[in-house]
Amino acid sequence: MADPVSQTEDQDWAAVCASAELGDEEMLTARVGEWQILMVRSGDGLSAFNDCCPHQSARLSTGRLRRGAIMCPLHGARFDIGSGRCVGAGYAPLLRMPIRERNGIIEVAPPPRSPAPDEIPKDA
Ligand code: FES
């Protein structure tokens, strides 16, 4: 996995689930405020993204996780689960969010703003 996005103590961390709820090579979603968050665990790596494809705002969590990438359910674009970068197509990268585990709890820190219209999954 790529380097995690920067983390600081003064970010607005939100506890979203127990660590045990997100298994290896699994995806899990949570809602924090207006943000729909997609969390992915792979080996020692943990990533959090906005659960919205940058192409046409499909909900990525309804896609598949395979070979280190999330595949969009609508047009099949693939996004690296470490960096969020689009693999094999020219779409923008996924919006990554800081994520950490503390005392058996997963916490995320979504941006301190509301999502833009194109950052909200179409079926939300
Ligand atoms: S909406 Fe995701 S690839 Fe088109």
Sheet hosting strand 14-18, strand order edge to edge: 14-18, 105-108, 99-102
Distance 60 CA to ligand 1 centre (A): 9
The mean pLDDT value for 37-41 works out to: 98
Residue 4 in any domain: the answer is no
More confident residue, 15 or 124: 15
Q: Is residue 121 part of a domain?
A: no
Task: Answer whether residue 32 shows pLDDT above 50.
Answer: yes
pTM: predicted TM-score of the whole model, two decimal places:
0.93
Residues 6 or more apart whose Cβ sits within 8 Å of residue 119: 50, 52, 57, 95
Q: Which of 53, 61, 71, 87 to mutate to test the pocket of ligand 1 (most atoms within 8 A of CB)?
A: 53
Contact 23, 41 (CB under 8 A): yes
pLDDT at 7 over 90: no
**pLDDT per position as a tens digit, 48-63:** 999 999 999 999 999 9
Model pLDDT for residues 48-101, shown as the tens digit of each residue: 999 999 999 999 999 999 999 999 999 999 999 999 999 989 999 999 999 999
> Is residue 102 in a domain?
yes
d(CA 30, CA 39): 8
- Would the pLDDT of 2 be above 50? no
* Ligand 1 contacts CB of residue 97 (under 6 A): no
Answer whether 58 contacts ligand 1 (Cβ < 6 A): yes
pLDDT over 70 at 103, yes or no: yes
In a domain, 50, yes or no: yes
Count of structural domains, the chain: 1
Q: What is the mean pLDDT of the chain?
A: 94
Residue 89, domain extent? 20-111
Q: Which atom of ligand 1 is nearest to the CA of 91?
A: 3
Answer whether residue 116 is part of any domain: no
22 lines ligand 1 (CB under 6 A): no
In a domain, 86, yes or no: yes
Judge whether 118 lies within some domain. no
Q: Are 26 and 42 in contact (CB under 8 A)?
A: no
The CATH number assigned to the domain holding 105 equals 2.102.10.10
Q: What is the pLDDT of residue 25?
A: 95
2 within some domain = no
Residue 94, ligand 1, Cβ within 6 A: no
Give the closest residue to 110 by CA, choosing from 45, 123, 120. 120
